[in-house]
Amino acid sequence: MAGNMFSTKGRYALRAMADLATHEGWVSLGDVSRRQGISRKYLEQVIALMHKAGYVESQRGKGGGYRLTRKPEDYTLGEILRAAEGSSLAPVACLDCSTGDICSRLADCPTVMIYRDLGKVTSQYLDSKTLKDITLSAGFTKLTPEELALREAEEKLDERDAKKQVGKKDGSPRRPAC
């Protein structure tokens, strides 16, 4: 598969939420950043999405930080990814109904049923797994400085690509055909 099904924000949201789930009390973003090898600046954007969704709460000042608003078993991976991705978990853009744009070829597309079924299976699977499930699986690894630099470069590319999509106003279709 050439591309990723989920953006860096989605992947980092799962890791950050899992990190918060494995630590008691208020957790600083600096600590999460170091443990997960995610730049603090990018992590702030990801956590802001989780805060907006009501999945974390914050406390300012000494001893402050972030913590989950519910138990880890009460969050599905699907809901975390949807909040981070800002859309559905559709595997192709033409099936993402969150923007209101509908693919002009949807009615006669020979592949739409395959992608629709893939989206359903993916959503069902991710909605059946909880944050607790991933905290019980393999632990979190530390990244080398080289790996952290590579991650930060990926984040910058993701941000640049997102800005290109937002700035696109040339009248061309926003979604590729099925």
Distance CA 166, CA 92 (A): 18
If one compares 123 and 168, the residue with the highest pLDDT of the two is 123
Q: Which residues pair with 67 in a beta bridge?
A: 57
Tokens representing residue 41 in the block: 């600046």
Res 48: pLDDT: 97
Burial group, residue 7, by CB count within 10 angstroms (0-12, 13-18, 19+)? buried
* pLDDT surpassing 60 at residue 38: yes
Which option is the CATH number for 8-166: 3.60.20.10, 1.10.10.10, 3.20.20.70, 1.10.10.60? 1.10.10.10
Residue pair 93/175 in contact (Cβ under 8 Å)? The answer is yes
* pLDDT surpassing 80 at residue 44: yes
* pLDDT surpassing 80 at residue 142: no
The torsion region of residue 176 among left (phi > 0), alpha (psi -120 to 50) and beta comes to beta
In the predicted model, what is the mean pLDDT of residues 127-150? 71
Cα-trace Rg, the chain: 18
What is the average pLDDT value for the chain, to the nearest integer? 82
Domain ranges (residues) in the chain: 8-166
The continuous run of DSSP H or E covering 132 comes out as helix 131-136
* pLDDT surpassing 60 at residue 176: no
If one compares 88 and 59, the residue with the highest pLDDT of the two is 59
If one compares 2 and 83, the residue with the highest pLDDT of the two is 83
Res 161: pLDDT: 78
Residue pair 94/175 in contact (Cβ under 8 Å)? The answer is yes
Distance CA 113, CA 56 (A): 36
Q: Which residues pair with 65 in a beta bridge?
A: 59
In the predicted model, what is the mean pLDDT of residues 9-13? 95
Q: How many CA atoms lie within 13 A of 15 on its CB side?
A: 23
In the predicted model, what is the mean pLDDT of residues 37-63? 95
Residue pair 42/152 in contact (Cβ under 8 Å)? The answer is yes
For 107-134, write each residue's pLDDT tens digit.
788 888 888 888 889 999 999 999 998 8
Is this structure's pTM higher than 0.85? no
Q: How many CA atoms lie within 13 A of 27 on its CB side?
A: 23
For 60-107, write each residue's pLDDT tens digit.
998 899 999 999 999 999 999 999 988 777 777 777 666 666 677 777
* pLDDT surpassing 80 at residue 5: no
